[in-house]
Amino acid sequence: MKNIWKFMRKNPALVGLLGLYAVLSILSDRFLTISNQINILRQVSIQAIIAFGMTVVIISGGIDLSVGSVFAFSAVVMASIIKGGSVFLGILAALLIGTLFGLFNGVLVAKGRMQPFIATLATMAIARSFTLVYTNGMPITGFSKAFRFIGRGEILKIPVPVLIMLGVLMFTWYLLRKTKLGLYAYSIGGNEEATRLSGVKVDFYKMMFYVISGVFSAISAIILTARLNSAQPIFGQGYELDAIAAAVLGGASLSGGTGSVIGTFFGALMMGIINNGLNLLNVSPFYQQAVKGIVILLAVLLEKEE
């Protein structure tokens, strides 16, 4: 019994998830169907991928508020290039933009010694502005079938976005568990000074963490653009907060040093299920934010108990 309680406190996201499954499968007979479950995963994949990158940054003691704007800018630039004829170059451009903005954040934080919150807040504003200027505020729509496959296609009945999300999940898990970059994320978040004195190139790795976050935003932007067959300049608004919430629900601490990408996945899933469940139950969408907020508070309180 004691062990169960301990497990619950250690994994608030997983426990919340199971609780939501139990409640929703009783309240709605459509909830537990396979098609609805796949639907949830597909909806979650966009936010989850961003949240995975955010998790790496948060573990290292930082934060990245620019993910939503970088998402939008890479989406619109990619969209215009695809309209110009090359899907391949478009995707490449999106990934490049994610990398460059990540690097920019990384340089500001690691070399410029700026606080991550402020540095990425500035980047958030800049990237959003670039997006609006680039598109003149207009959406870019209508792409080839091949490109739309990324957002709408299925392989073995599993949606492509879900497969990409699972791929990024495994990749991030591997990074955090098996590589120096992952270990250093935890150690820099735990004690930057001690890590530096251990001979680690702290600045280089800090930059890498932000690059990962930027690239993941771009990957996510590719999926959503393909799915909606449209890139909108207002894409990604508020995504940074969803990503942070997923990471925190998954056990990451904003002071750094702890967190896991599996936890973040559960956190993102939880938020997706809340949306889905409330829709199924015909609850007004106006309530969704409040329910999410309350769930976050409960999860964090549960963790604090320890």
Partner 1 sequence: MLLLMKDITKRFPGVLALDNVSFDLKKGEIHALVGENGAGKSTLIKILGGIHQPDSGKIILKGKEVKFSSPLDAMMYGISVIHQELNLAENLSVFQNIFLGREGKNPWYINFKDLEKKAKALLDKLGFDLDPRTPVKDLNVSEKQLVAIAKALAYDAEVLVMDEPTATLTEHEVERLFEIMKDLKSHGVSVIFISHRLDEIFEVADRVTVLRDGKKVGEGQVKSFTRNELVRLMVGREIKDMYPKYNEPTDEVIFSVEDFEVPGYVSKTSFEIRRGEIFGVAGLVGCGKSELALGLFGALKSSFSKMRLFGREIDRIKSPLDALKNGIVLIPEDRKKMGLILGLDIVKNITVSNTNTVAGLINIYWKKARKMTQSAVERFRIKTPSIRQLVKNLSGGNQQKVVLSKFLFREPKLVILAEPTRGIDVGAKVEVYNLINQLANEGKAVLFISSELPEIVSLSDRVMVLHRGVTTAIFEKEEITQENILKAATGVDVA
230 is a contact residue toward partner 1 (CB under 8 A): no
- Yes or no: say if 259 and 247 are a contact pair by the CB < 8 Å rule: yes
Which CB, 6 or 30, lies closer to partner 1?
Answer: 6
Cα–Cα distance, 197 to 45 (Å, whole number): 39
Which CB, 111 or 178, lies closer to partner 1?
Answer: 178
146 is a contact residue toward partner 1 (CB under 8 A): no
- Min dist CB 282 to partner 1, Å, is 45
- Yes or no: say if 198 and 96 are a contact pair by the CB < 8 Å rule: no
205 is a contact residue toward partner 1 (CB under 8 A): no
303 is a contact residue toward partner 1 (CB under 8 A): no
Which CB, 186 or 266, lies closer to partner 1?
Answer: 186
229 is a contact residue toward partner 1 (CB under 8 A): no
Distances in Å between the Cα of 244 and the Cα atoms of 65, 96, 174, 234 are: 9, 23, 21, 19
Task: Output Rg (C-alpha) for the chain, integer angstroms.
Answer: 19
Return the ∠ at Cα 22 (arms to 18 and 28), rounded to 5°.
135
Candidate ranges 85-93, 187-195, 233-241, 295-303; the one touching partner 1 (CB under 8 A): 187-195
Contact with partner 1 (CB under 8 A) among 18, 183, 280, 298: 183
Longest pairwise C-alpha distance within the chain: 62
Task: Give residue for tokens 């898990």.
Answer: 173
Contact with partner 1 (CB under 8 A) among 33, 86, 129, 198: 198
- Min dist CB 164 to partner 1, Å, is 22
Binding residues among 244-283 for partner 1 as defined by CB under 8 A: 257-258
- Yes or no: say if 132 and 232 are a contact pair by the CB < 8 Å rule: no
139 is a contact residue toward partner 1 (CB under 8 A): no
225 is a contact residue toward partner 1 (CB under 8 A): no
- Min dist CB 180 to partner 1, Å, is 5
Contacts with 292 (C-beta within 8 Å, 6 or more apart), sequence order: 245, 271, 274
**Amino acid in the structure at residue 45:** S
- Yes or no: say if 271 and 47 are a contact pair by the CB < 8 Å rule: yes
Residue ranges in contact with partner 1 by CB under 8 A? 178-181, 183-184, 186-187, 190-191, 193-201, 257-258
